[in-house]
Every structure is written in C-alpha cells, then in structure tokens.
Structure 1
Amino acid sequence: MDVLIRNPLSVVRARAREIPVGKLRQSSDWGIPGFFESKLKLNEEGDALNEIPSLNVTASQNIEDKSLVRFRCMVQDILDPEFYTGIYEEVCAKTGTKVLKTAKYQDVVDIPAGCDISIGQNSITYSRLPLFCIPIPGESKWVHRALGNKMSQQIQSKDGKQRDKRKRSEVARSTPEKSHVPRITKMKRGRPGESKFEDLAPMDEVDYTSRKGSSTADPHIWNLQKGVMVKMYDTESGKFKVNDVVEFVGVFSASPLLADEDEDGAWGRFNPPSSLVPRLHVITSRKLDSGMGLVPSLDAESFIKKLNASRKPLLRTRASLLAHLKDLLGGDSVASEAMLMHLVSRVHYRRSGHIIGKFSLGISGVPPKTAMKLISFMESILPAVKPIEVTVSAMNKAAYMPVKDYNLNHLAQGELQAAAGTHIVLDETKLSEGKLLEKGIKNFSAAQQVISAQQLNFDFKYHKITFNTDTPVLILTKGKKSIFKCDCSVDIKGAESRGIREVSEASLRSFREYLLLARTLNVEIPKEITSQIQEDFVALRKANPKLPEASMHLRMGCSRLLATTFLETNLTAKRWTYTGPLFKLLR
C-alpha cells in the first residue's frame, strides 16, 4: 500500500511495459483504474481511502510530487480536450538502445543520465480532458475533520523547520538528471463538425499578466488559492458536468520545472501556473450525491435495517434539535417546525412543472444577532452552508451567476453556484433602502430563479445556459417582508434568541446523523391518503373557489417533509391532517 501511495507511477510504467505496441495504439485504457480500485478496495466496505493524503485538509506544498492523493471537489469548469505524447522512446546515447516509456498521468517525465527522448514513429498520442475543480463551496469545517485521514494528519504535523530545510521543490529538483515536458496539443471546439488544433508546446508565448484586466493575482479568475486542474484519462464524453461533486484519486503534480516555465508564460491560459494551481492526474473517481459522501451507499434492505435500528434514538434527537431551533428562533414553535422541514428538504424530482421536495423558507422579524447565531448553528450540523449578505451595495457589485471569461477560457464562479445539498442563506437583516443598478437587478432575478425554480443561468456572454440546482434557500429578513418570494414564510416578530446552552459535540454528531439520514428518505403517498387529499381539496375549493391548485401541491410537499422529519417513508393521515393548521400559520 505504501508503494502504491508514494510511487503510483511505478505501477503505471510496469503495466505499460507488459502491453504490446499494437495494443497500446488501439487503446489508452490499460486497466490501471481497475487495478487501483481493487488494491484500495474503493468499491467495498472498509476501503483504504483514509490512507491516501487529501488535498482538502493538507496544504499542497506539503505533498510530495508524483504521489497519490485524493480530492473531494465541485467541477467548476470543463475545458477543451488536449492531446499529449503518451508513449515515447527513451534512447541511450552510448548504445543507441531504445525503450518505450509512458508519459501518462504526469506533466514532466524524468530522463536518466546518458539518455535522451525520441518522438518518432513509435510515439503514440492520446487525449485527456482538463477540468477545473474547486473545494465544495461553503463546506463546513466539521466535514473536513470527519473525512480527514491519518496520512494527512502525519503530513500536517511534521516539524516546520524540517519542511523548510527540505522543501518539495528542492527534493524534486535533485532527483532526475534531466526532465522533459511532453508536447501537448489543444483541441479547440469550433463550429459543429469542425475541430481546430492549437499547439501548446512549452515555449508558446502567452503571458497571463499581459492580458488587460486578467492577472493571475485575481482570485476571481482562477480561484488560485483553492482550485486544482484535474486531468481526466480514458473517460467517456459527458461523464461529468459543471457543479458535480466528485472524489478524485490520482497523481499529484506540482513540478518545479513547470513552475519555472509557467512563470515565463509557458503553458498559457489553458494551463494556469502549477505554482498557483496544482494538477491532479486522475486514475479513478466517484460521483458523490447530495450527502457529499458522508452517508454510506446501502441497498434497500440494508438501509431499512439501519433505519429501523436507529429510529427510536434518532426521534429523540429530532425532539432535541427541534427544541434547540425553537430557542434560536425566540421560542417560536411554528418557525422551528418549518425550519426543521427546510433542513431536510431536497429536490427529489421534477414533474409537470412541479419540483417535488423543494421548500424555500422565509423568516421575517429576525434580528441580525439571531441571524448570525442561526447561520453558525446550521454550519455546525449541515455539510455545506453558503451565507450571502443581501444589501443594495453587495447586489450591485457581486456576481451571482457564473460568467465565462473568453480571454482566459475560464468559467468564473458565481455566488449562487453551489453543489447539490448546499443550503443557501440569503441574509437581508442588514438591508436598507437603495437603488439596484443593472447588475443588481440581474443578481436579484438570478436569486429569485433559484428560490422559485431551483435553476441558475450560466452567463456565456453571447448566450445563457440554464442548469438545474438542488440548493435549499433560507431567507432571513429583519423587517416584516422579504424582497424575494418564497414557498412559505413565518414572522418571529423580532424575537431574540433565548438563553442557549452550548451544544455538546456528541449532540452535534447526533444532529448531523439524523439530518443526513432523513435527507436520503423518499416519502410515498399511499392510495388511501391520495383519496383523502383529493376529498380535502374539493372541500377547500367549495369553501374558497379562488384557492389555487399550487397551494394544495405546496401543502402536500409540507406533509412529505413533516413525515421525513419523523423518518417515515409513507405519508400517513396523521401527518396530512397535522399540516392543515400548520400550513395556515406558515402562509
């Protein structure tokens, strides 16, 4: 295992030597992903992921070049495919002996003393797909602690003086006799059916800082302090899309050679300097759902067993969590019940214009201090929370929608862009009168679109592309009414948070487990309950002919969420009846 982590490329080279040249030309898939998945037991219980250093909790400068790492992240941008020299000949200058070598899963290849590289008829070109990925926006600190590992902790705890004495760059420079950056060709997307190729050999003269308004020092361009350039190999087109949450396992690359050449504009806009944006050459990966990898994947039978075994203690946890929310919200029981339903909400599916599971909630009469306490508590129990301060000044300046920068061929992140399962909190408690400018109006519309339709437009300058989202939105307002329209709202009338005792770490863990489990549930509506719902709707329509159909759909959604908070998988008459008076109070 230690060799696999510290020197994964030795496995790749050994595999390449076993395959005949003819087969190497036919395919670049040499069974490497399957080998690593088998050795690391990635698809089994008790996998070895915790043995692999994580870029999420370990500073990249403390990770050894060309070692195996993992990275949990959100796909921020998908760049154009690139072609690279995957197989080349290493020639011994003294004897003329030629040996086939591979440059797969690496940016720089090491050349032994007395040898050189030949790019000739036996060379083979393969393609790979670059993705620009960032840590999951708004991810809570407790998640990092929960998913940290022994290896990362060992790396982090190394003595600082020792690290300064033997920096990664110095180690890397002293190892090979010579190094070579394999030639890369960029495939640019043109008109349908047309491909364009642009040479991106290391000496292309592209300088980031020479571009007007496009300096690499600007974190809004590349998210330089956080982003990683991920290179995908042997993957089918469309496997990943923007906003997907993925855990990658691959070879870490931050070669000093690349850093030196990048400073001279070597790789240009398509490959930001490795000194600023590390690279990860992916061997294997797995998509994560809205649980962000915190909930184990269980088959239906195992899940029901786990649910039944945990139900009683978790229902006690529900009562405890509800009581804490009530204290936070100034003793308002309706607001706390609604808040709990909001915490377990998610988009289950979309049908006939209805979004099943969505529940945007507005709480008015919230003092700023109460808003701060509520957001802080949410961050301690939810995997990802993204607070956005809503003021006239902020809305006129911020970019709520992702915007494509064609000069850098990069999709800049927007405030509302988040991974599925992230709770967005629009904090209006500091909002005062003012005028929204053109940008502010666009931002307002973008926020309302996420609240109402769970959709977000990505601005590609000449056109917009709409992406579906799954980011529950909570709106906190100091006044009586929000500037946004949401599914339900409740007024706590300026009530301050009551005396709140500090929540123990054990209680926080119970709250997290309860919410994570509840959010995985799907609540079905039995036929007899469907009949009761229809009868009630007819009766309500007789009493109020103007009652909109959307109101009944919303009440059904609230009933489902209430059942979810009780960890029930079927809607009962009891839950349906209970939401009647509750729903009236929420509206």
Structure 2
Amino acid sequence: MAREISNPLGVIDELFARCTGDKPPSEWQEKAHFVKTLELENEENFARVPCLNDVLAEEIPPFSLVRYRCLVQDVFEPELYSMLLLDREAQRFVTTKYRETLPGGKDLQDLGRNGLGTRGAYYCVPLPGETPWAKAAAAAGRTAAASAGQSQARTKRSRDEDVDMADMEPAAEAAPQVSQKPRQKQAPVPTPARNSDSFGLNFPLPWEEDQRATACIVKLYDEDAESLRLCESIEILGVLCVDPSMANLGDAPSWPYDARSPSTALVPRLHGLVVRRLPFYHPALPFSPAFLSEARLAQAYQRGLGGLQQARSAAIGLLQQSLKDPLAAEYVLALLASRVYGHTSGMALGQWSLNISHWPEDTAKSLHGAVSQLVPLAAHLPLTAETLSGGRWKPRKDFEANRLVAGKLQLAPGTTVLLDEAQMAQGTLNEVGVRAAQALNSLVTDQTLQCDFNSYDVPIPLEVNCLFVSKGVSILKLADVVVPLQPQNVTTDMASVGAGLDAARFLLALITRQARPFSMPEEVTARFSEDFAQIRQEHQDVGQRTVHVWRSLARAVCLTHGEEVLSLERWNSVLAMERERLRRMTESGIQMA
C-alpha cells in the first residue's frame, strides 16, 4: 500500500519540510503530489482508496487516506486554527494542516497571528436515499480496483523481493497525538444506540440512521475552503481523523453534547485533499475530468449502450410489473429521464411532476421498489395528515445549538421522491403540517428547498423528480401531470428485465448526468402548436402550462429512445400518450392542469 494512503500525514510533513524557509507557505503542492503520485485522474486508481461509505469508520486505520461520498447537510462558519508552530528543539516550522490536534512529542511554540490559518468546515452525511444496488455497485467498483492493484503488487514483488516494508506499516507515525497503549484482549462491547437528538447525527431520512452509516465533519483548505454549498453532492478524498481511544461510547453516556464538536468516535473528521462534485450522482459513470468530456459522454450515449431498445424495454418491463399499466409505465420512465435544462421567467425548463391516481393498494412500496431498481437515489415519503403534522420536513436552524437540523426534504440533487398519499384521509393539519405542505409546494413547483430560519425561510435550489401516488387525485394538487391508473393483464418477462437492468440504469445515467442537447425542427414545432390548439378546443380547461409539460415529456421520451431530435413520428407517439391520458381524466371526472 502506498504511503500516501497508509500514512498521508507523514507524506504531507515531508513535503512541508522541503519547502519551509523564513516564511513557510500555506500551500506547498501537497494536493498535486497526491493526485500525481496516486494517479487519481484514473478512475480505477481513485477507486482503490478505501471508502468510508463501504465500511464502518472503526474498521479503517485512523489517519489514513479515505474517500467519502456525501451530501453537504450543514455549512459551518470558517474555522480559525493554528496552522504553523515552531519546533523549539529543531528550530523549524511544523504544520497542523490536515490535523485535528497538535502533533505530540515535541516542544512547540505558538506563533500567534503569524501562525494562524482558516479552513472551511461542513457537516456531511451519506447521500440520503442511496439505493441498495447503487451502494453495491460503488463497493464492487472499489473491490475490483483493489483486487487489480493487489495483483499488480504481487507481480512486482515476484520480480523484486526487496520490498520497502516501511510502505507496508500502518500509519503509526501519522498519529503522534494518539497514545500508544498495549492492546489487551477483551470481550467486544455492544455498540450503543445512536440517536441524532442525543449525539448530533443529523440524517435527513431518520430511518437511515439505524443503518450504521457514518456522518463526518469535513474540513477544507485553500481554494476549496469555502467552495461548497448546502445540499451539494460531493466526494471527498482526505485524511480520516478518529481518536481510537474514544471508539466505545458505551462508557461515556454523560459526555457534553456539542452539535459542532461531537466526539470523533461518533462523527469523524475528514480533512480534504481532493474534492469532486457529483451532480446527479450515478455509480455507473466516473467523475474524474478525463472521463467527463462531452465527446466521451456523447460516444457512450450513441454507441456504448449497444442494445438500447433492450435497455428501455427492461425499464418499462420493471415498471409495468408494479403498475400493471403500460401507459403509466411510460410516464414514470419519462419522469425518471427528465431533468432541468434551463430557466426562463423563473420557470425551470424540463421539470415536471407526475401523479399516478387511482392507486389500488394502501402503500406505494411496490412502485418505490421498482423505481429504486432503476435510479441510484430514491426516497419514499408517506403523506398523511399525521406525518405532515408530526415530522420534520424542511431543515430548521437551531440557533441555540448553532446548527441546521435536517428535514426529510433535504435530499441530494437527482433524487426521485415518491410522495405516497395512498393512506391520505381527511384530516386537519396543525401549524407544522401547514408549513410542511408549503415546503412540499416549493420543492415540487419551484425546485427549491425552504430552510426554516424561524422568522424567515431561505430557499436553496434543489432539483429532484417528484412522483405522487394517490387513491383519488392528489389532495395536495401539486402535480403537473395526472395519470389515472387502469391496471391491465400485462405479462412481464422478468428474465429479460434482469438481463437488461444494468443497461437500463446506464441509459438513465447518460440521460440525466447532464442536460442532453435536444432540438425540435420547424415542421415539428408547427405541428406541435397546431396539436396544442386542437387539444385546447377539445379540453378547454387545458392550461398554458401544458405547453411546457409537452416539451419536457417529448424531450424525455426521445432521449430514452436515444434520439436528440424530435421527429414527427416520435411526436405523434407522445401525442397519442397524452390523448389517452386526457381521455382517462375525462372519464374519471378529473379537471385538466
């Protein structure tokens, strides 16, 4: 294992020692060194770095290099810290950059203002709603890369037996602040229950806290220090700071609670060297710059899928298995393939919401299960008068603890949100419920997350796909498109679905990774306008918003067929879908949008 992974602080200190003089720099190309030495531009090399999402923090050696895939849940004020100290004995400067505590075993002199530095601090949690297959795919990618690396290492050692054992040692020199006590065999102590209210774990989806996921306080430096924003999806590569002596919380139930400074045994600190943004995260697509060129994505979109129709058929088949309705399956797939591609007059172009009405069951878990098989991020949120009035829906600023308390709507960009009204009944909303409904309205219609700062709300842009399921028409009446469900006797070849499932996921990843180019020729635009005028004559309650919905729907349907130009043939098929939907709405007595 490279020293950059097993002992990053030792490497950082060596690099710092080479460039110190009368005025030590605040940056000494340490980030560039790690990127170059570990060849992190190569996605396989990046995946070889241990990932905090795949294992428990206590299973990773402290002060080693790790990766962490996360959501920025809270943005703290920048920290002022003693960046430089003077080693009196050696008469040279030492740095505390990328450290949580001072190096031990040295006579260090505080330099006052001359030694101060600032760093950004963020509270981060694993991506809310990450689906099981996405977690497994990410972990499998790391395992495959690690196996390849071990194979290469064995080959190298067979040629050269003089292996530098220093590179194989654990990061002991990187952790001088930890007392080296002899280990004693003892019975394992049960892990105590972890509660966000007691210990500061601030997960947007409360049930994910029981999955032993790890929250981190991320510290960033230099140009990255203040670069992150709330609700941004990122991947951090940095130094994991955990105090092993505090790994067992069972003996210390009376520790003082501090929302911004919890024990590192509970909330590890991660001092970042490399920051990668994950817009519309998908484990099937790498994120290093070398893989993100438009040319590469276009090539993958046009040729990489091979059997594109197999991919699309697998997605439709999976959705039909739950919905029992081919038309509804087409609309749900179009929603999953949609994303915002621009803004005009305060409207997000490409964004629309869907309501599957006349749902026959008491819960939409089966549909959530199908959707979760296709997308990497999905959240199932039951909506009743009780859940709206009794839960935390939007983030709330706790001024006493000086932190942002998470809410269920604080999700990662690109999440598919299934808003389940199947058990919704008549009831009265209290003040909390009214505010929750207002927050849902902002998220669905404006693509903004309202953060409650007591006397005012702060809107945060958040692009998600919203899917309502209801027995009648959604009581909240927020959806742009209503599809009354009409179950049919459809047969799904689940063997074919299974064979094409990975391709279906990859297809959706390519479509939503970034806004795809799309165009409507003049003749199609003219036909589009004529058809809209005719539909308005037939259904006078069809509103102007339908124009936007049709464009977004046509775009999504085209892209799922691998087309980036709307043809007359494809538009006619989309119009046929809309005519059938409007027929069902008239038959059910539902007013048009």
Residue 37 of structure 1: aligned partner: 35
One-letter code aligned to 2:11: V
Contact 2:219–2:225 (8 Å) recurs in 1: no
One-letter code aligned to 2:29: G
User: Which of 300, 325, 331 in structure 1 is aligned with 2:294?
Assistant: 300
Give the SS at the match of 2:550.
helix
Give the Cα separation in 2 of the matches to 1:283 and 1:570: 42
User: Which of 562, 576, 582 in structure 1 is aligned with 2:557?
Assistant: 562
Residue 160 of structure 1: aligned partner: none
Residue 510 of structure 2: aligned partner: 517
Residue 185 of structure 2: aligned partner: none
Q: Sort the Cα spacing of 1:396 and 1:175 in 2 relative to 1 into closer, same or farther, 3 A.
A: closer
One-letter code aligned to 1:139: E
Residue 153 of structure 2: aligned partner: none
Residue 577 of structure 2: aligned partner: 582
Give the Cα separation in 1 of the matches to 2:174 and 2:2: 22
Give the SS at the match of 1:57.
coil
User: Which of 442, 450, 460 in structure 2 is aligned with 1:449?
Assistant: 442
Q: Sort the Cα spacing of 1:19 and 1:306 in 2 relative to 1 into closer, same or farther, 3 A.
A: same
Q: Sort the Cα spacing of 1:105 and 1:531 in 2 relative to 1 into closer, same or farther, 3 A.
A: same
Give the SS at the match of 1:418.
coil
Contact 2:56–2:214 (8 Å) recurs in 1: no
Give the Cα separation in 2 of the matches to 1:536 and 1:394: 42
Q: Sort the Cα spacing of 1:508 and 1:345 in 2 relative to 1 into closer, same or farther, 3 A.
A: same
One-letter code aligned to 1:564: L
Residue 165 of structure 2: aligned partner: none
Contact 2:10–2:174 (8 Å) recurs in 1: no
Q: Is residue 133 from structure 1 mapped to residue 124 from structure 2 by the alignment?
A: yes
Q: Sort the Cα spacing of 1:453 and 1:88 in 2 relative to 1 into closer, same or farther, 3 A.
A: same
Q: Is residue 432 from structure 1 mapped to residue 422 from structure 2 by the alignment?
A: no
Q: Deviations over 1:479-509 (max 9, x none)?
A: 3544332011111247799777477754321
Give the Cα separation in 2 of the matches to 1:176 and 1:353: 54
One-letter code aligned to 1:286: R
How many positions carry a matched residue from both structures? Answer: 530
Q: Sort the Cα spacing of 1:239 and 1:176 in 2 relative to 1 into closer, same or farther, 3 A.
A: closer
> Deviation at 1:380?
1.8
One-letter code aligned to 1:132: Y
Residue 239 of structure 1: aligned partner: 227
Give the Cα separation in 1 of the matches to 2:225 and 2:178: 36
Give the Cα separation in 1 of the matches to 2:499 and 2:332: 22
User: Which of 133, 139, 145 in structure 1 is aligned with 2:136?
Assistant: 145
Residue 457 of structure 2: aligned partner: 464
Q: Is residue 335 from structure 1 mapped to residue 328 from structure 2 by the alignment?
A: yes
TM-score, normalised to structure 2, is 0.81
Give the Cα separation in 2 of the matches to 1:290 and 1:397: 30
Same amino acid, percent of matched pairs: 26
Give the SS at the match of 1:574.
helix
Give the Cα separation in 2 of the matches to 1:517 and 1:420: 16
One-letter code aligned to 1:318: R
Q: Is residue 406 from structure 1 mapped to residue 394 from structure 2 by the alignment?
A: no
Residue 50 of structure 1: aligned partner: 47
Residue 585 of structure 2: aligned partner: none
Q: Deviations over 1:42-81 (max 9, x none)?
A: 23x4441221111101100111111000101010111011
Give the Cα separation in 1 of the matches to 2:178 and 2:293: 52
Residue 370 of structure 2: aligned partner: 377
> Deviation at 1:577?
2.2
Give the Cα separation in 1 of the matches to 2:399 and 2:368: 36
Give the Cα separation in 2 of the matches to 1:499 and 1:316: 13
Residue 268 of structure 2: aligned partner: 278
User: Which of 173, 190, 199 in structure 2 is aligned with 1:216?
Assistant: 199
Residue 192 of structure 2: aligned partner: none
Superposed, which structure 2 residues align to 1:17-416 within 5 Å?
A: 17-24=17-24, 27-43=25-41, 45-92=42-89, 97-112=90-105, 115-120=106-111, 124-148=115-139, 149-150=142-143, 176=176, 215-216=198-199, 226-235=214-223, 238-256=226-244, 268-292=258-282, 294-296=284-286, 297-310=291-304, 312-330=306-324, 332-368=325-361, 371-416=364-409
Q: Sort the Cα spacing of 1:80 and 1:353 in 2 relative to 1 into closer, same or farther, 3 A.
A: closer
Give the Cα separation in 2 of the matches to 1:490 and 1:425: 15
Contact 2:202–2:406 (8 Å) recurs in 1: no
Residue 159 of structure 1: aligned partner: none
> Deviation at 1:21?
3.4
Give the SS at the match of 2:450.
strand
Q: Sort the Cα spacing of 1:226 and 1:236 in 2 relative to 1 into closer, same or farther, 3 A.
A: closer
Contact 1:89–1:118 (8 Å) recurs in 2: yes
Give the SS at the match of 1:30.
coil
Q: Deviations over 1:263-309 (max 9, x none)?
A: 88689443222121111000111111113453234433333332222
Give the Cα separation in 1 of the matches to 2:173 and 2:8: 19
Deviates more, 1:397-406 or 1:446-455: 446-455
Contact 1:475–1:482 (8 Å) recurs in 2: no
One-letter code aligned to 1:16: F
Q: Sort the Cα spacing of 1:260 and 1:119 in 2 relative to 1 into closer, same or farther, 3 A.
A: farther
Q: Sort the Cα spacing of 1:153 and 1:378 in 2 relative to 1 into closer, same or farther, 3 A.
A: farther
One-letter code aligned to 2:321: D
Contact 1:5–1:68 (8 Å) recurs in 2: yes
Deviates more, 1:27-36 or 1:124-133: 27-36
One-letter code aligned to 1:91: R
> Deviation at 1:476?
0.9
Deviates more, 1:266-275 or 1:509-518: 266-275
Contact 2:64–2:171 (8 Å) recurs in 1: no
Contact 2:125–2:202 (8 Å) recurs in 1: no
Q: Sort the Cα spacing of 1:230 and 1:258 in 2 relative to 1 into closer, same or farther, 3 A.
A: farther
Residue 480 of structure 2: aligned partner: 487
> Deviation at 1:542?
6.6
Contact 1:429–1:476 (8 Å) recurs in 2: yes
Contact 2:421–2:474 (8 Å) recurs in 1: no
> Deviation at 1:251?
0.3
Higher share in strand:
1
One-letter code aligned to 2:232: D
Contact 1:41–1:47 (8 Å) recurs in 2: no
Residue 507 of structure 1: aligned partner: 500
Give the Cα separation in 1 of the matches to 2:103 and 2:482: 62
Contact 1:54–1:152 (8 Å) recurs in 2: no
Residue 10 of structure 1: aligned partner: 10
Residue 156 of structure 2: aligned partner: none
Contact 2:349–2:548 (8 Å) recurs in 1: no
Backbone CA RMSD of aligned residues? 3.3
Q: Deviations over 1:448-496 (max 9, x none)?
A: 2222221221111132111122110011112354433201111124779
Contact 1:366–1:495 (8 Å) recurs in 2: no
Q: Structure 2: where are the runs of 5+ without partners? A: 148-169, 180-195, 583-593
Give the Cα separation in 2 of the matches to 1:415 and 1:264: 29
Give the Cα separation in 1 of the matches to 2:255 and 2:318: 55
Q: Sort the Cα spacing of 1:347 and 1:22 in 2 relative to 1 into closer, same or farther, 3 A.
A: farther
